[in-house]
Amino acid sequence: MRPFLVLAILPLALAAPIRTFAAAPPDPAAIEAVLQHQSPTFGGPTLDRDALTRIYRKRDFAPLWDDARAEALRRALDEAPSQGIDDVEPELAGASPASREVALTAAFLDYALALARGRVVPKLIERDWYLDMPYFDPDGLVDAMLAKGVGPALAALPPPDARYQALRTALERYRGLAKTGWPELRTSRTLRQGDKDGAVVALRQRLALEGYRTAPPPGSDPQIFDKGLASAVAQFQASHGLASDGMLGKATLAALNIPASARVLQIELNLERWRALPRITAATRIEVNAAAATAVLYEDGTSAKAMRVIVGTVRHPTPVFRTTMISVLINPPWNVPNSILKNEIMPKLKRDPDYLARGNYVFRDAERGQRLVQLPGPGNALGQLKFEMPNSLDVYMHDTPDRRLFALPRRTLSHGCVRVDDPRDLARRVINSESWPETAIDQAIASGETRRVALKQAIPVYVLYWTAFADPDGTVEFRDDLYGRDKRLAEALAARTARLRLSAGATTPGAC
């Protein structure tokens, strides 16, 4: 694979719009001189000058930009904020024609790179991010721009997923809300259906701003916390990962009081994360959202089964990666990781000598010494079904004997693996064989024997992290940044902007 072009090159100059060529286009020799000798007005300290030079050398340093293309690029950059991108405006004021020519190419490629794969390399800020970014071919993109136009070339780069577009729509909406913001709600007690309180009116108004229907019945007291308001509160809670009890408690109040501007940033960060992901094209797949502790099985491009899951704790976060589910293991044994044996089981064993026997644990010989194994059974930590998806992280999906945990609104409780609600139905769906109906799975579990069932069709599994996403009905859902990925991404983008501003202040237009 060819190396990709990294362009973190453009200073912020929002007040300097792109200017078209009023005079003749620059001479190829002048363009070559800019690329070879001039301290460029278009770049910062990390500009890949060689990549730009290769692009121009292939075309004998002929100019790429006429007035029509420059105007099309200006229009495209004007649309950048709608993608959640606001730091790709080049500085062109006072530049020579040749410098402006190269600056336009750099601006085009920088924006294209941001659309195609994001502005931050996730692996540089995350220790447990195992997804490669989309491939980016700058030279091929220039060819596409020359053949099809600026707009069509750029339009083909962002994720084509409808969920990305829905989040862009949400961004526009929340930016409108952020212009005026919403007032902070205050109450000294938990409010529930039937209560009368002056804060109820403010609660109705606050929920209405985000589109929740809260109008009281005609002629009723708006200060009464009625059934309709309780339903709206429950809907808000569900879309924010809270317990949907319909009451205004501390957690719900805190979520309501997060500023609209913070929600705008949250949406922008998730758009950025979308762009950095490899494009998801498999029509049949499983997607896990660790931030929401949910998973969805897609069949032929349609959501076929939504599931609650349990994911890793903050200390043991579920990583971001892609793997392939290939089989279901019925009545699985659990090979206890050494870290869990050392840090969790051995201290319990010291306090309780019968802990291993009671938990159905045995030591078995392995190639490099003994290994602790929990034998199959209803109390096994993996439950009665394990969904095998080989990967170097040893992260997989599985059943659990502690089913009550799925009722919790926050389900960050595992060591990184993904525990699945209703695993028998999931097993039936992924095995997808007439010889393995649900009753056959039940019978195999009841036998107590360990048995591996290969899937007729291997299924891609994406384990992702979304703290803002839009439902098919347009409802925007938000989740807390439990693993700090939003925070680190925001810091990386802010550092990038600071570098660009510093670069802008350090450069002066040159003449050639």
Q: What is the mean pLDDT of each run of 10 residues along the chain (512 residues)?
A: 39 40 77 78 52 93 95 95 84 80 91 95 97 95 97 97 96 96 95 96 96 89 95 97 97 98 98 97 97 97 96 97 98 93 92 92 77 93 97 96 95 97 96 87 95 96 97 90 98 89 57 35
Amino acid identity for residue 20 in this structure: T
**Residue 91, pLDDT score:** 67
User: What single-letter DSSP state applies at residue 202?
Assistant: H
| 424: enclosing H helix or E strand | helix 423-431
Handedness of CA 503, 506, 511, 512 (dihedral sign): negative
pLDDT tens for 337-392 read 988 999 999 999 999 999 999 999 999 876 666 889 999 998 999 999 999 999 99
The CB-based long-range contact list for 195-203 (8 Å cut-off, 24+ gap) reads 195/224, 195/225, 196/221, 196/223, 196/224, 196/225, 197/223, 197/225, 198/223, 199/248, 200/224, 200/225, 200/229, 203/229, 203/233, 203/248, 203/256
- Alpha-carbon span 326 to 345, nearest angstrom: 30
**Residue 42, pLDDT score:** 42
- Alpha-carbon span 461 to 479, nearest angstrom: 21
**Residue 215, pLDDT score:** 86
Residue 97 sits at φ, ψ, to 5 deg, of -55, -40
- How many other β-carbons are positioned within 10 Å of the β-carbon of residue 87? 20
Q: How far is CA 505 from CA 85, 500, 501, in A?
A: 21, 9, 6
Amino acid identity for residue 309 in this structure: V
- Alpha-carbon span 88 to 115, nearest angstrom: 11
- Alpha-carbon span 425 to 431, nearest angstrom: 10
- Alpha-carbon span 329 to 390, nearest angstrom: 12
Both tokens of 248, joined, read 């205004």
Judge contact between 55 and 145, C-beta under 8 A.
no
**Residue 508, pLDDT score:** 42
pLDDT tens for 59-69 read 999 999 999 99
Q: Is 6 left (phi over 0), alpha (psi -120 to 50) or beta?
A: beta
Q: How far is CA 21 from the centre of its chain?
A: 40
439, HSE (Cβ side, Cα atoms, 13 Å):
2
- Alpha-carbon span 431 to 113, nearest angstrom: 40
CB neighbour class for 68 (10 Å; exposed up to 12, middle 13-18, buried from 19): exposed
